[in-house]
A and B are shown apart, each in its own frame.
Chain A
Amino acid sequence: GENVEQHPSTLSVQEGDSAVIKCTYSDSASNYFPWYKQELGKGPQLIIDIRSNVGEKKDQRIAVTLNKTAKHFSLHITETQPEDSAVYFCAASKGGTSYGKLTFGQGTILTVHP
């Protein structure tokens, strides 16, 4: 089955700096790669996603890049703010008869210091 590795497990940055989280996946059939943000005491929430026919996607301060050949994708957060502090999860899915089943990475605890 699919295996998703996520690094780093913890990331500490100063407010205004950029943060980058990286993930690799094992199944070349995976074609959908969402990123979720989980705040304390809450369920994960989708913040951005990318499909395999696109190399990069941006939404304000958040961007995701995908390298299908190398089977890795990354989340980039620019101009970080204290409210960006949370746990971030990457995931991979291959659709089809898996009905959108997601395999998650282990998560990255991001701390943004004011």
Chain B
Amino acid sequence: DAGVIQSPRHEVTEMGQEVTLRCKPISGHNSLFWYRQTMMRGLELLIYFNNNVPIDDSGMPEDRFSAKMPNASFSTLKIQPSEPRDSAVYFCASSQGGTGNNEQFFGPGTRLTVL
């Protein structure tokens, strides 16, 4: 398996532009997690899905952030409009899901820079 795939790996955009980050989880995994990592705040959980349904989006910082999971093999995290303070590394992770505790497998991340 190729592991969790994220695209793009790097994104540089200007303030006010829309940004879309993409994630393909490991095949067969039922849970998907979006994280943001910064030096100041560490690893923050933004939102997670189980069986394509959003379970908890309490970590989403503002209404400018939205996430979707239209099917089991694809998820997007969108920021509209983007701001410089959104600059961070965004990780997607997936796990087998269910109600147990399962290892989360992280993707390589997308480094977002908003100018």
**Contact among B42, B56, B102, B109 with A104 in the assembled complex (CB-CB below 8 Å):** B42
Determine whether the beta carbon of B43 is less than 8 Å from that of A95. no
Q: For chain B residues 13-68, which have a beta carbon within 8 Å of chain A? A: 31, 33, 42-43, 45, 48, 50, 55-56
Residues of B within 8 A of A32 (CB): 101
Interface centre among A44, A46, A98, A100, by most chain B C-beta atoms within 10 angstroms, is: A100
Question: In the complex the two chains form, is B103's CB within 8 Å of A43's CB?
Answer: no
Q: Are B103 and A46 in contact (CB under 8 A)?
A: yes
Tell me if B56 and A101 are in contact (CB < 8 A): yes
Name the one of B43, B101, B108 contacting A100, with C-beta atoms under 8 angstroms: B101
How many residues of chain A have a CB within 8 Å of chain B? 27
A102 at the A/B interface (Cβ < 8 Å)?
yes
Q: Are A100 and B97 touching (Cβ within 8 A)?
A: yes
Contact of A31 among B55, B93, B101 (CB under 8 A): B101
With a cutoff of 8 Å between Cβ atoms, the chain A residues found around residue B97 in the complex are 99-100
Task: Choose from A34, A42, A46, A95 the contact partner of B99 (Cβ within 8 Å).
Answer: A95
Q: Indicate which residue in A36, A42, A99 contacts B108 across the interface (CB closer than 8 Å).
A: A42
Given A95-B100, A102-B45, A43:B50 Cβ within 8 A: no
Judge whether A104 and B43 touch: CB under 8 Å.
Answer: yes
Residues of A within 8 A of B48 (CB): 99, 101
* B95 at interface by CB-CB < 8 Å: yes
Report if B113 contacts A (CB, 8 A).
no
28 A-B residue pairs with CB within 8 Å:
A36-B106, A42-B108, A42-B109, A43-B91, A43-B106, A43-B107, A44-B43, A46-B103, A46-B105, A93-B101, A95-B99, A99-B31, A99-B55, A99-B97, A99-B98, A100-B31, A100-B100, A100-B104, A101-B45, A101-B48, A101-B55, A101-B56, A102-B33, A103-B45, A104-B43, A104-B45, A105-B42, A106-B42
Which residues of chain B have a CB within 8 Å of any CB of chain A? 4, 31, 33, 42-43, 45, 48, 50, 55-56, 91, 93, 95, 97-109
Extra contacts besides A89-B43, A93-B101 (10): CB < 8 Å: A42-B109, A43-B93, A45-B106, A46-B105, A99-B50, A100-B97, A100-B101, A100-B102, A101-B48, A107-B43
